[in-house]
Amino acid sequence: MELVVATRNQDKLKEISALLRGLPLEVVSLDNFRNVPEVIENGRTLEANAKKKAVHVSRFLGRFVVADDSGLEIEALGKEPGVHSARFSGKGATYASNNKKVLKLLNAVPRAKRTAVFRCVIAVADRGKMVGLAEGRCRGRIGFRPIGRTGFGYDPIFVPYGYKKTFAQLGLKKKNRISHRSRALIEARKIIKRYVLTHSTLLRVNFLEQPC
Ligand code: IMP
């Protein structure tokens, strides 16, 4: 059975595929489809954005879809960037410019007050109908400069609790064991598994009837 991950971000697809390994699913991304309309992520919460993406994409494709929305909430910044994580430093934002902005805003903030949490919300939908919602969190603190080469986004400035290294230094394997996304996926995996077991025959028939 096919599961579409509503993303074109190859980093994210890699992480999600690795964490869903073992389930009888062929995991594909939006790159496998043409003309999927862009879903504007203008919700006020991660939950609203994840649901909107999953429902719209699964309705458009007539398929089984997971969509996630994640963000970094920094306590000293009133939970910003949060839902604005992707474009925190404005139009044309890059991972580096976002990290730079965070570090600048936290310039005078001491280590003990640099607490932050990565949150990930995953919505599962089938042909336009919500199936379930899962959430995962990873707590930590913001470092004083970017360190490390792996991962993406805020990984070089985020040090998870219990570690002395940033996500970007820990590497994908270790990050996947403790990340907000992996924790949300452990919950989402249960929802997907239950759904696949009860609906797989129905879904297969439906897929055969739908022209690509
Ligand atoms: P998205 O909406 O889930 O793509 O996430 C929004 C933004 O949050 C991304 O562009 C990244 O900057 C940041 N982000 C989400 N997850 C991670 C992560 O695992 N590591 C670092 N940054 C992340």
> What is the average pLDDT across 207-211?
48
Q: What is the pLDDT of residue 212?
A: 44
Exactly one of 11, 31, 68, 69 is catalytic; name it: 69
Q: Which of 93-97, 115-119, 132-136, 187-191 is predicted with the least confidence, judged by mean pLDDT?
A: 187-191
> What is the average pLDDT across 14-31?
88
Average pLDDT, the chain: 92
Residues 131-178: tens digit of each pLDDT: 999 999 999 999 999 999 998 899 999 999 999 999 999 998 899 889
Q: How far apart (Å, rounded) are the C-alpha atoms in residues 72 and 140?
A: 10
Ligand 1 centroid from CA 80, angstroms: 13
Residues with Cβ within 8 Å of residue 78, at least 6 apart in sequence? none
Query: Residue 89: pLDDT above 90?
Result: yes
Query: Residue 30: pLDDT above 90?
Result: yes
* pTM attached to this predicted model: 0.89
Residues 49-73: tens digit of each pLDDT: 999 999 999 999 999 999 999 999 9
Domain locations in the chain as residue ranges? 2-209
- The larger pLDDT score, comparing residue 126 to residue 210, is at 126
Ligand 1 centroid from CA 174, angstroms: 17
The minimum-distance atom of ligand 1 relative to the CA of 12 is 4
CB 23 within 8 A of CB 49: no
Question: Beta 115-126 vs 80-81: how paired, if at all?
Answer: unpaired
Q: What is the pLDDT of residue 202?
A: 52
Ligand 1 centroid from CA 201, angstroms: 35
CB 137 within 8 A of CB 158: no
Question: Is the CATH code 3.90.950.10 the one for domain 2-209?
Answer: yes
Where are any strands of DSSP class E within 49-152? 64-74, 80-81, 115-126, 129-142
Q: How far apart (Å, rounded) are the C-alpha atoms in residues 189 and 24?
A: 11
The question of whether 69 is a catalytic residue gets the answer yes
User: Count of CB atoms within 10 A of residue 90's CB?
Assistant: 9
